[in-house]
Amino acid sequence: MKKKSIRGLSLKELQEFVESLGEKKYRATQLFSWMYAKGAQSFDEMTDISREFRDVLEHSARVDNLELVRKSVSSTDGTIKFLFRLIDDLMIESVLIPPEETAPGADRRLTLCLSTQVGCPLDCKFCATGTMGFLRNLTAGEIIDQVIQAQRHAERRITNLVYMGMGEPMLNYEEVMKSVDILSDDRSLNIGTKHITISTAGYADKIRQMADEDRKVKLALSLHSLDNEKRTQLMPITKKHSVSDLIESLEYYYRKTRRRPTFEYILFDGFNDTKEDIKKFVTLSKRIPCKVNIIPFHSIDFTGASGFAATLKPTPRDRMEQFAQALREANITVMVRSSAGEDIEAACGQLAVEEKKSKAKSKPAITETLT
């Protein structure tokens, strides 16, 4: 009999499963709590479930766990980057990001950046993951298990999630939203939806869908340019959903939900950091109340970037601050992100890309690096 993989099942699906085994529904609540709230790695750990039923489960089901391949800890800011192996040997990354020490509530907050796909089909020119191409979508169970596994290495509770790692969440919408529903359930990890952010490279249809479904999570758009031509150069997805289409979808989203979207904006020297770019942002903020996260560019030279990608350089820190200040003067809420984990290959997808390159050699053992 083929064992059913149950990490990622909702409570209702677990109820149907235990009933199919001839058990009472309440068993599903026990399983749900053990798998998600307590992060059990095997049926053996589920000690308040009778030995007899655990034996039945052993024969009919399995709890798949991500395998930790590498854990890198930044000595500068405590960022931890995990490289996980999936059941089919593919690799994904997750990044645990502590808040800056001076940030309000810093001692109570811990953020995990999650992957939603192995690789990514969107080919954004500044992104290492994009160079891998697309391999497959993650299941809800694989998304959730990133939280469970990272929590085992965290000094305090993970309080915030950002779906901003490898992959485009909107291309895996059903599994992403299922993972949100399970992670935010108070019988599971109980991470409040207002502490969960879904980030998209720009699927206007899915932004409208989120509004129509009244999804309570926060929404971020990786914007990076308000100029359609420049954005197309940076992010080919713009050919499908133009800047104006995206802005219209966000306007719709804001009108329906009254939640302000966040714009993620990587500053590239001389490309999208000019006075004209600031002016466009200010005009946009009058249309849609928003927040802006300015992000430093992590070089992707290690991918052997060529053509347009090779011309991208980070805006120097002082000009990043000037750009942010100009937006603040127009009453826009702006955060300038630090270069979190720069010393541990923090570019999105860097570990997985390097791992893929060396894959032909041999399976690496778990390594822990402190840089």
How far from 55 is each of 50, 346, 350, CA to CA, in Å?
9, 43, 41
Beta bridge partners of 67: 85
Q: How far apart are CB 102 and ligand SF4 at their closest, in Å? A: 28
Of the pair 145, 168, the CB lying nearest ligand SF4 is at: 168
Give me the sign of the Cα torsion angle 125, 126, 127, 132: positive
Site for ligand SF4 in 312-351 (CB under 6 A): 348
Site for ligand SF4 in 232-291 (CB under 6 A): none
Which listed residue (120, 124, 290, 348) is catalytic? 348
Nearest approach in angstroms of CB 201 to ligand SF4 is 4
Name the minimum Å distance from CB 370 to ligand SF4: 27
Decide if 63 contacts 6 (C-beta within 8 A): yes
201 or 309: whose CB is closer to ligand SF4? 201
Site string for ligand SF4, 130-169 (x = CB under 6 A): x-----------------------------------xxx-
User: Least Å distance between CB 83 and ligand SF4?
Assistant: 16
Q: Tokens standing for 135?
A: 């391999």
Burial of 228 per CB tally in 10 Å (0-12, 13-18, 19+): middle
Binding mask 190-219 for ligand SF4 (x = CB under 6 A): -----------x------------------
SS3 state at 266: strand
Nearer to ligand SF4 among residue 278 and residue 348 (C-beta): 348
CB of residue 122 to ligand SF4, shortest distance in Å = 4
Binding mask 108-137 for ligand SF4 (x = CB under 6 A): ------------x-xxx--x-xx-------
Taking the least distance from each CB to ligand SF4, the nearer of 122 and 135 is 122
**141, 183 contact by CB (below 8 A):** no
> Considering only residues 16-75, where is the footprint of ligand SF4 by CB under 6 A?
none
Q: Which is nearer to ligand SF4, 103 or 310 (CB)?
A: 310
- The sign one gets for the Cα dihedral 242, 248, 251, 257 is negative
Instruction: Specify whether 127 is catalytic.
Output: no
Q: CA-CA distance, 345 to 360, in Å (whole number)?
A: 21
The residue (of 114 and 122) whose beta carbon lies closer to ligand SF4 is 122
In the complex with ligand SF4, which residue's Cβ is closer, 167 or 341? 167
**Cα atoms found within 13 Å of the Cα of residue 101, Cβ hemisphere only:** 3
Q: What is the DSSP string of 159-193?
A: -EEEE-SSS-GGGGHHHHHHHHHHHH-TTTT---G
Q: What is the CA radius of gyration of the chain?
A: 21
Q: Break the chain down into helix, strand, coil percent, rounded to 5.
A: 40, 20, 40
Catalytic option among 67, 93, 120, 142 = 93
Q: How far is the CB of 238 from ligand SF4 (least distance, A)?
A: 11
Q: C-beta of 117: minimal distance to ligand SF4 in Å?
A: 8
How many whole angstroms separate alpha carbon 323 and alpha carbon 267? 9
- Counting residues that bind ligand SF4 (by CB under 6 A) gives 12
8 Å CB contact between 349 and 129:
yes
Residues with active-site annotation: 93, 348
Footprint of ligand SF4 (CB under 6 A): 120, 122-124, 127, 129-130, 166-168, 201, 348
